[in-house]
Amino acid sequence: MRGIALALVTLTSALAAPPQVVTDTPVTQSLTAMVMAGVGTPTLLLDKGADPHDFQLRPSQAAALEGAGLVVWIGPEMTPWLATGVQTTGRPALELLSVPGTVLRQASGDEEEHEDGTGQDHEQSHTGGRDPHAWLDPRNAATWVAAIAGELAKADPDNAAAYAANATAAQARIIELDADLAHRLEPARAVPLGVYHDAYGYLAARYGLTIAGSIAQGDAHDPGAAHLAALEDDLKGALCIFPEAGHDARAAETLASDTGLRIGPPLDPEGLAMDPGPGLYPALMTALADGILACVRGG
């Protein structure tokens, strides 16, 4: 009798379908996939290569959102196009930037560093608020996998133990990654760098890097001539300028040839060109360090 009961329990939990979990960006999908390993695969809304800051849902994606058992997303500062969807569908949602314990930085869009008195050169598309690129501090990724496991446990209590165990393993992996990056990036500390868009504040703060300026103004706009001229000033004393995956490298190339900066490999801080899945997040962080070091060392 006990044997039969045990067999039934096993059968029931094997048949319990996990909820449909919908995620916004490749990084969120990756962290969620780590937590769901062996149970299910979260859906990624963003099309491969698409700019997360500037995207529109297709009807099939809106339908996925409609039927989601859980939506995991960074927050409205990252994907404004998803904010309305999350609100109107009323599906259970976990906003990662609002998870307690998240280390937050303010967006630098309205910072004073470009104040030059003319008041017209540096109009920014950002209006301040939270800088959404918070996964570039791995401590946040570690905090988030635990929060994701907690929300999944509510949506799918049958698999709560698996989610908790996966989150613990993911945290250990992320903490190890963080220590490894801190060690590897030491040669890049205090070497001023230019980047494509204003995504690297968390990475810089965590590992002691110096970002001297970014080509794009705010997050989703092409640079103007006045901004590029001011940027050349900001980049005096910098060593490298990095283009970015999914964006035209010409502005970086022009800056490099005008200023004598080394041009680094394209960085991919949002994982837009990478294969989605649980391995994306550690691969993304490792590739950022590899790319930065390749240029800093003159490779």
Closest approach, Cβ 199 to Zn ion, in A, equals: 4
**With respect to Zn ion, which residue has the nearer C-beta, 171 or 214?**
214
Residues in binding contact with Zn ion, number by CB under 5 A? 1
**With respect to Zn ion, which residue has the nearer C-beta, 24 or 151?**
24
- Interaction with Zn ion in 96-135: which residues (CB under 5 A)? none
**Span interacting with Zn ion, options 95-103, 107-115, 191-199, 259-267, rule CB under 5 A:** 191-199
Closest approach, Cβ 94 to Zn ion, in A, equals: 20
Closest approach, Cβ 2 to Zn ion, in A, equals: 55
Distance CA 26, CA 275 (A): 8
**With respect to Zn ion, which residue has the nearer C-beta, 27 or 199?**
199
**Span interacting with Zn ion, options 88-96, 142-150, 167-175, 196-204, rule CB under 5 A:** 196-204
Distance CA 109, CA 118 (A): 17
**Span interacting with Zn ion, options 21-29, 157-165, 192-200, 260-268, rule CB under 5 A:** 192-200
Closest approach, Cβ 214 to Zn ion, in A, equals: 10
Closest approach, Cβ 71 to Zn ion, in A, equals: 20
Distance CA 149, CA 171 (A): 11
**With respect to Zn ion, which residue has the nearer C-beta, 151 or 219?**
219
* The two three-digit tokens of residue 103, written as one number: 């280390």
**With respect to Zn ion, which residue has the nearer C-beta, 85 or 218?**
218
Closest approach, Cβ 132 to Zn ion, in A, equals: 7
Q: Which of 199, 245, 274, 287 binds Zn ion (CB under 5 A)?
A: 199
Closest approach, Cβ 85 to Zn ion, in A, equals: 19
**With respect to Zn ion, which residue has the nearer C-beta, 37 or 83?**
83
**Span interacting with Zn ion, options 154-162, 194-202, 207-215, 245-253, rule CB under 5 A:** 194-202
Closest approach, Cβ 197 to Zn ion, in A, equals: 5
Report the residue closest to Zn ion, judged by CB: 199
The answer to the question of residue 46 lying near Zn ion (CB under 5 A) is no
**With respect to Zn ion, which residue has the nearer C-beta, 163 or 202?**
202
Closest listed residue to residue 271, CA positions, set 25, 17, 8: 25
Please classify residue 159 by burial: count the beta carbons closer than 10 Å to its beta carbon, then call 0-12 exposed, 13-18 middle and 19+ buried.
Answer: buried
**With respect to Zn ion, which residue has the nearer C-beta, 42 or 201?**
201
Convert the chain into a string of H (helix), E (strand) and C (coil): CHHHHHHHHHHHHHHCCCCCEEECCHHHHHHHHHHCCCCCCCEECCCCCCCCCCCCCCHHHHHHHHCCCEEEECCCCCCHHHHHHHHHHCCCEEEHHHCCCCCCCECHHHCCCCCCCCCCCCCCCCCCCECCCHHHCHHHHHHHHHHHHHHHHHHCHHHHHHHHHHHHHHHHHHHHHHHHHHHHCHHHCCCEEEECCCCCHHHHHHHCCEEEEECCECCCECCCHHHHHHHHHHCCCCCEECCECCCCCHHHHHHHHHHCCEECCCECCCCCCCCCCCCHHHHHHHHHHHHHHHHHCCC
Residues that bind Zn ion (CB under 5 A): 199
